[in-house]
Amino acid sequence: MKTAEDFQSGQVLLIDKPLHWTSFQVVNKLRWEIRHAFNIKKIKVGHAGTLDPLATGLLIICTGKMTKQINTYQGQDKEYTGTIVLGGTTPSYDLETEIDATFPTEHITETAIHEATKQFLGDIDQFPPVFSAIKKEGKRLYEFARAGEAVEISSRRIQISIFEITKIDGVHIAFRVVCSKGTYIRSLAHDFGKALKSGAHLSVLRRTKIGYFHVDNALSPEAFIESLTTK
């Protein structure tokens, strides 16, 4: 069982973020539980890379002196799996918002779906979703979006090394992506729909790897909390 000194000197915790939790909520929950379990007044806790509330999967949580390594972990390549739904777009590019436009899909073949992935491989320019936490003029982009205010978004240079289609079930396209820091899979889903002369949005997203860390080795928040008091 870990001690107060262990967490203060620094730990790297692998957490499997549940659906609907924000990354910030996970950090706050774990910080409170660590402080409560060991009667610690103050401890640094942070995460290495935000996951959207509608995404699940690997969060790297650093405590104590290991928070200095957060930038290093954030910079590592990440792997995601998920599902893209063809034929409809949403303002958030995922299921946070309702479908705002529908498009034909009858012309899309399985061959076209596999071929379309190729144009997203390598170094590409990507526009982040307006529903994102990126700051502009001191505000988060999603604040502009929710207020209905138009805002100019700059593209970012990202790298996608793997974009693999793992299953096609009608308009539901399962995938695996390996990409660089700063990649928005929601934007990839949106742009993928455009590439197929249709529309698309992200319906499922799970982060499976960050660098050499794998979600298979991660604990749920509940399991981690239980481990604090279990020998």
Positions annotated as catalytic residues are 52
- SS3 state at 74: helix
Token readout for 172 is 């539901």
Q: Residues with Cβ < 8 Å from 63, sequence gap 6 or more? A: 7, 8, 10, 11, 13, 34, 43, 44, 45
Which are the contacts of 87, defined by CB distance < 8 A and separation ≥ 6? 102, 103, 104, 105, 171, 198, 199, 200
Contact (CB, 8 A) for 51 and 59: yes
Q: Which helix (H) or strand (E) holds 16?
A: strand 12-17
Cβ–Cβ under 8 Å, residues 173 and 83: yes
The rounded distance, in Å, linking the Cα atoms of 227 and 105 is 49
